[in-house]
């Protein structure tokens, strides 16, 4: 497998210099040169990634107050089904009740034991320590030896509530009971996804892996196409990395990276067949692509192949543009939810792992359309920090791409931990999504 530019140039028998132009690349012609996202933020303190105190500030000012994706509705289909959503030191029970989905802090109000240790199904929440119990809606069910607790007013002794709401088949929670409604927070996201109907999809695959880096360092590796040049060199013949469009507004940002078109970085002229092979990852041992008929572009062929597959699932009424079928359209809903647009199946989520500033959990969902009865959602396939993505065959070719992406990340964390400078710097345009994210993060952590 070619994992670096050097591997690739070896396998092609040409030098790295021949493969990738080191001449100055002109800015993308399709774009106005002025970045529509205006902000003075061009760098951020390294301490945002390396300082445990900044992690604690995020726990207190961000995670304890912001709407965040907790799970899919399909993961708790029946009354009594619940999942545990963990974020830093917080643990939250998300449960389906007769009245809808509710969320509570996963903490017994007697002497503080966590009520549940695993996801599951239950009629009520009974603490394993002394047997206090609560109903699914969080109200008190029973106090053991209640004669001995005259100070407890049962009406006020419910589980600590967390807000819960849904959009697009996803469940979001917010620990701040005074926070404005979810729909206010994600209105731009819901507008963008209206046509693609994420609620009509199911979890075909779900893989989570512990990463040896801060959660922001991990997600930022998936918020730009700027890294393709040296991280995924095998794609360059078929990806318009530097011709990507980046937008940011409200709590949302978006990148559109055109596929089946050559990178401005290469200084050779790939054929349409080269572009198709590159985008379909032949250099990562993907199956061979059919020969393109004369006059058919790689882009048209790719869109046609995708259209055929998608219409079989979404029905003949689905009108899908070539761009929705073949480009990479990747959103970031602040702070950590990354659904891909168009017909792409990918959704990422990143969050701190075990309350550590230098570990995170990266999850990848494949959210796929289906016909007929909703298939059961795939449970999360958990990979520890030393287990490779390729141990999750359900990811297909993407496991190899992730291997390339995540190969950098422990070294990014280690580099930042030893850095002798104060700030990491961001590209004005190609790192728009990072700049926008950090502007929002600044607002959250500086809030009273
Ligand atoms: S700690 Fe839960 S019942 Fe005592
Ligand atoms: Fe990547």
Cβ of 108 closer than 6 Å to ligand 1, yes or no, is yes
Q: Which CATH number fits domain 68-181: 1.10.287.130, 2.102.10.10, 3.40.50.2000, 3.40.50.720?
A: 2.102.10.10
SS3 287: coil
Query: What pLDDT is attached to residue 71?
Result: 98
Residue 40, classified by CB atoms within 10 Å of its CB into exposed (0-12), middle (13-18) or buried (19+), is exposed
What's the chain's average pLDDT? 91
Cβ of 130 closer than 6 Å to ligand 1, yes or no, is yes
Query: What pLDDT is attached to residue 28?
Result: 52
310 pLDDT tier (thresholds 50, 70, 90): confident
4 pLDDT tier (thresholds 50, 70, 90): very low
The C-alpha atoms of residue 312 and residue 319 are separated, in whole angstroms, by 12
- pLDDT at residue 1 above 70? no
Domain ranges of the chain: 5-58+190-446, 68-181
Q: For 88-139, where are the E strands, in sequence order?
A: 90-97, 100-105, 120-121, 125-126, 133-134
Looking at the structure, give the CATH architecture of the domain made up of residues 5-58+190-446.
Alpha-Beta Complex (3.90)
Ligand index nearest the alpha carbon of residue 233: 2
The residue whose CA has the least distance to atom 4 of ligand 1 is 130
Query: What pLDDT is attached to residue 317?
Result: 75
Task: Extract the tokens encoding 358.
Answer: 């230098």
Q: Can you tell me which atom of ligand 1 is nearest the CA of 112?
A: 1
The C-alpha atoms of residue 297 and residue 322 are separated, in whole angstroms, by 12
Cβ of 113 closer than 6 Å to ligand 1, yes or no, is yes
The residue whose CA has the least distance to atom 1 of ligand 1 is 111
Looking at the whole model, is its pTM more than 0.85? yes
Cβ of 267 closer than 6 Å to ligand 1, yes or no, is no
In total, the chain counts a number of residues equal to 448
C-beta separation of 308 from 326 below 8 A = no
Cβ of 132 closer than 6 Å to ligand 1, yes or no, is yes
pLDDT digits (tens, 9 = 90+) for 63-96: 999 999 999 999 999 999 999 999 999 999 999 9
357 pLDDT tier (thresholds 50, 70, 90): very high
Ligand index nearest the alpha carbon of residue 128: 1
Placement of tokens 């907790």 in the chain: 70
pLDDT digits (tens, 9 = 90+) for 260-298: 999 999 989 999 999 999 988 777 777 778 889 899 999
Ligand index nearest the alpha carbon of residue 110: 1
Across-strand partners of 360? 211, 352
pLDDT digits (tens, 9 = 90+) for 159-191: 999 999 999 999 999 999 999 999 999 999 999
To test the ligand 1 pocket, which listed residue (107, 109, 110, 143) has its Cβ within 8 A of the most ligand atoms? 110
The C-alpha atoms of residue 417 and residue 410 are separated, in whole angstroms, by 10
Choose among 443, 427, 19: nearest CA to 227: 427
Query: What pLDDT is attached to residue 262?
Result: 94
Q: 13 in the Ramachandran plot: left (φ > 0), alpha (ψ -120 to 50) or beta?
A: left
- pLDDT at residue 304 above 70? yes
pLDDT digits (tens, 9 = 90+) for 227-269: 999 999 999 999 999 999 999 999 999 999 999 999 999 989 9
308 pLDDT tier (thresholds 50, 70, 90): confident
Q: Which residues of 165-181 are buried (b: 16+ CB within 10 A; e: fewer)?
A: bebbbbbbbbbeeeeee
Calculate mean pLDDT across residues 27-37.
58
CA atoms within 13 A on the CB side of 234: 23
- pLDDT at residue 3 above 50? no
34 pLDDT tier (thresholds 50, 70, 90): low
pLDDT digits (tens, 9 = 90+) for 361-416: 999 999 999 989 999 999 999 999 999 999 999 999 899 999 999 899 999 999 99
Calculate mean pLDDT across residues 2-20.
45
Choose among 93, 122, 97, 116: nearest CA to 105: 93
Q: 297 in the Ramachandran plot: left (φ > 0), alpha (ψ -120 to 50) or beta?
A: beta
Give residue 127 CA to ligand 1 midpoint distance, Å.
6
To test the ligand 1 pocket, which listed residue (117, 126, 132) has its Cβ within 8 A of the most ligand atoms? 132
Cβ of 186 closer than 6 Å to ligand 1, yes or no, is no
Give 363-398 as a DSSP string.
EEEEEEE-SSSPPPPPPPEEE-TTS-GGG-GGGTTH
Give 174-214 as a DSSP string.
ES-TTSPPHHHHSHHHHHHHTTT-GGGEEEEEEEEEEESS-
To test the ligand 1 pocket, which listed residue (106, 130, 159, 160) has its Cβ within 8 A of the most ligand atoms? 130
121 pLDDT tier (thresholds 50, 70, 90): very high
Residue 210, classified by CB atoms within 10 Å of its CB into exposed (0-12), middle (13-18) or buried (19+), is middle
C-beta separation of 432 from 35 below 8 A = yes
Cβ of 129 closer than 6 Å to ligand 1, yes or no, is yes
């Amino acid at each position: 497998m070619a994992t670096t530019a050097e591997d690739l140039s070896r396998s092609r028998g040409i030098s790295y210099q021949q493969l990738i132009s080191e001449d100055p690349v002109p800015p993308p012609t399709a774009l106005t040169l002025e970045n529509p996202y205006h902000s003075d933020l061009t760098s951020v303190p390294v301490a945002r990634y390396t300082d445990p105190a900044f992690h604690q500030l995020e726990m207190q000012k961000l995670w304890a107050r912001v709407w965040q994706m907790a799970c899919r509705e399909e993961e708790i289909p029946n009354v009594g089904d619940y999942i545990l959503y963990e974020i830093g030191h917080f643990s939250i029970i998300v449960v389906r009740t007769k009245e809808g989905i509710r969320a509570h802090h996963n903490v017994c109000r007697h002497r503080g034991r966590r009520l549940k240790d695993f996801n599951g199904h239950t009629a009520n929440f009974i603490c394993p320590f002394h047997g206090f119990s609560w109903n699914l809606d969080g109200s008190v069910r029973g106090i053991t030896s209640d004669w001995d607790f005259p100070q407890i007013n049962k009406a006020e002794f419910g589980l600590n509530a967390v807000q819960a709401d849904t959009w697009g088949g996803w469940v979001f929670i917010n620990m701040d009971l005074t926070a404005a409604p979810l729909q206010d927070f994600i209105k731009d996201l819901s507008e963008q996804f209206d046509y693609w109907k994420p609620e009509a999809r199911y979890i075909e695959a779900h893989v989570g892996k512990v990463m040896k880096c801060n959660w922001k360092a991990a997600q930022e590796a998936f918020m730009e196409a700027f890294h393709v040049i040296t991280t995924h060199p095998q794609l360059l013949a078929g990806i318009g990395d530097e011709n990507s469009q980046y937008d940011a507004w409200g709590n949302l940002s978006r990148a559109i990276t055109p596929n089946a078109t050559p990178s401005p970085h290469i200084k050779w002229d790939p054929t349409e067949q080269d572009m198709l092979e590159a985008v379909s990852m032949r250099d990562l041992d993907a199956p061979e692509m059919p020969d393109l008929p004369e006059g058919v572009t790689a882009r048209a062929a790719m869109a046609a192949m995708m259209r055929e597959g998608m219409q079989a699932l979404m029905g003949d009424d689905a009108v899908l543009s070539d761009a929705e079928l073949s480009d990479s359209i990747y959103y970031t809903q602040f702070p950590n939810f990354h659904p891909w647009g168009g017909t792409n199946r990918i959704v990422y989520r990143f969050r701190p792992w075990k309350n550590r500033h230098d570990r995170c959990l990266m999850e990848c969902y494949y959210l796929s359309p289906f016909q007929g009865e909703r298939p059961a959602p795939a449970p999360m396939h958990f990979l520890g920090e030393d287990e490779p993505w390729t141990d999750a065959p359900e990811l297909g070719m993407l496991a190899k791409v992730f291997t390339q992406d995540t190969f950098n990340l422990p070294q990014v964390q280690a580099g930042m931990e030893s850095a002798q400078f104060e700030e990491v710097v961001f590209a004005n345009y190609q790192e728009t999504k990072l700049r926008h994210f950090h502007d929002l993060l600044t607002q959250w952590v500086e809030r009273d």
